[in-house]
Amino acid sequence: MKKSTKKNQWQSYNLPNHLGYFGEYGGQFVAETLMPALNELEAAYKKIRSDSHFKKEFKRLLKDYVGRPSPLYEAARLSQKLGHRIFLKREDLNHTGAHKVNNTLGQILLALKMGKKRIIAETGAGQHGVATATMCARFGLSCEVYMGAEDVQRQAPNVFRMKLLGAKVIAVHSGTATLKDAMNEALRDWISNVSNTYYCIGTVAGPHPYPMMVRDFQKIIGEETKQQILKSMNRLPDYVMACVGGGSNAMGMFYPFIKDTQVKLMGVEAAGYGIRSGKHAAAIVGGRLGVLHGQKSYLLQDAEGQIIPTHSISAGLDYPGVGPELSYLADQGRVQIVSATDKEALEGFEMLSHLEGIIPALESSHSLGYLKKYAKKLKKNSVIVLNLSGRGDKDLNTVAKLQKISL
Ligand SMILES: *Cc1c(COP(=O)(O)O)cnc(C)c1O
């Protein structure tokens, strides 16, 4: 009886509700002055969501400019080594090298519809900043990217890329001078410039409607995967895995599979030096309910509710929060959240490079590291899809440094 109720719950899954909640997660925890902007954004998004011209333009540019559909590649040598049939969804082959561009394309098209000429964004590692700057160059929009001063130092190549693309990079010195501070600054900018400015958020976090909107722009990943696996295997996969920072590549991959309850969905968070060390970025595995950047979700915080400084070898996972929908799906048991340490991620990074000739992003390497460690514990001869969220070129310096090699 209980089982069938649960199943029905997923057959009719349709969140967020009209207030932007996924269960108790999400919402709009922002200054009163920002509410008109969020309402304007939500109304505009609802309009374009069912607009066939918009959908056509989005699909056309995903194809011609981003290079979609991305292949679903059966990794034969990796499969042989780990004893399953493993398929990689190649988001690393997208223009700009990761899944981020799916979302920035959607949001920039929306900004154009809304008549906003100035785009702002936050970025951590610089991947979302580069994807936003790319789309702004493509459409002739002005682009300003907020980035923690610490990250500006650590991610110099991406700062240079954004500048080449015509964007202005604003270094943020407050707090720990990292991603969360950049996002605070971007929200502040938006409050003072709502009339001409569009704020392009890079993951499924922030106040409603962002978590819903970013998920919708990213769900192309899971939609394609479903078609591709049905075509090659004539069945759905047993497991679908993705790494989790804010949660956008995971939600994009998982969303079209939510109703297919026979498919196990697994999200891999960054365990840094280990969950018990306290130096990690695993918000669901190691955090508590809290409010940050306009939303209620799992959050890494101390007893007083102060945000704890996070650590991960991969800058893209180094964020103290996570999107509300993943928090909800994890609580409800639809998505299983696990974690991989820096060391395990590096093992995954090396494994894929050697076995398949594909150098993965350190973010995606967390799923690979987890799979390497736990392949034997999964059901024998499983069909596994792993979302390869990005390519590893941006991480060469980080890995070289660890191997004491200077490039
Ligand atoms: C930004 C990034 C991530 C983490 O962000 P999500 O919103 O959790 O997807 C993962 N992989 C790559 C390659 C990234 O650039």
Tens digit of each residue's pLDDT (9 = 90 or more) over 37-50: 999 999 999 999 99
The pLDDT mean for the chain works out to 96
- Which pLDDT tens digit goes with each residue over 171-214? 999 998 999 999 999 999 999 999 999 999 999 999 999 999 99
The pair of three-digit structure tokens given for residue 60, joined into one six-digit string: 């056309």
122, 145, 249, best to mutate for ligand 1 pocket (most atoms within 8 Å of CB) = 249
pLDDT above 70 as % of the chain: 98
Q: Are the CB atoms for 102 and 128 separated by under 8 Å? A: no
Report the b/e string of 148-176 with b at 16+ CB within 10 A. bbbbbebbeebbebbeebebebbbbeeee
Q: What's the token pair of residue 75? A: 């990794």
Q: Report the relative pairing of strands 239-243 and 197-200 from DSSP bridges.
A: unpaired
Q: Do 245 and 270 touch, CB atoms closer than 8 A? A: yes
Hey, which residues does 370 pair with through a beta bridge? none
* Residue range 59-114, pLDDT digits in tens: 999 999 999 999 999 999 999 999 999 999 999 999 999 999 999 999 999 999 99
Give the Å distance between the CA of 296 and the centre of ligand 1: 20
Q: Is residue 3 predicted with pLDDT exceeding 70?
A: no
Nearest-angstrom CA–CA distance, 380 and 382: 6
For residue range 309-363, what is the model confidence (pLDDT) as tens digits? 999 999 899 999 999 999 999 999 999 999 999 999 999 999 999 999 999 999 9
Counting from 1 in the atom list of ligand 1, the atom nearest the Cα of 364 is 11
106 lines ligand 1 (CB under 6 A): no
- State the pLDDT at residue 154: 82
Q: What residue's CA is closest to ligand 1, atom 10?
A: 363
Q: Where are the beta strands (DSSP E) in 259-324?
A: 264-272, 288-292, 295-299
pLDDT at 400: 94
pLDDT tens by residue, 292-303: 999 999 999 999
pLDDT of 405: 86
The torsion angles phi and psi of 164, rounded to 5 degrees, stand at -60, -35
> What are the tens digits of pLDDT across the range 336-350?
999 999 999 999 999
pLDDT of residue 1: 45
4 pLDDT band (50/70/90 cuts)?
low
Kindly name the residue from 42, 91, 122, 185 that is annotated as catalytic.
122
214 CB less than 6 Å from ligand 1? no
Ligand 1 site, residue 361, Cβ cutoff 6 A: yes
DSSP single-letter state for residue 379: P
- Kindly report, residue by residue over 53-71, the tens digit of the pLDDT: 999 999 999 999 999 999 9
SS (H, E, C) 106-159: HHHHHHHHCCCCEEEEEECCCHHHHHHHHHHHHHCCEEEEEEEHHHHHHCHHHH
CA distance 300 to 302: 7
Which strand ranges, in their side-by-side order, compose the sheet holding 142-148?
168-172, 142-148, 118-123, 197-200
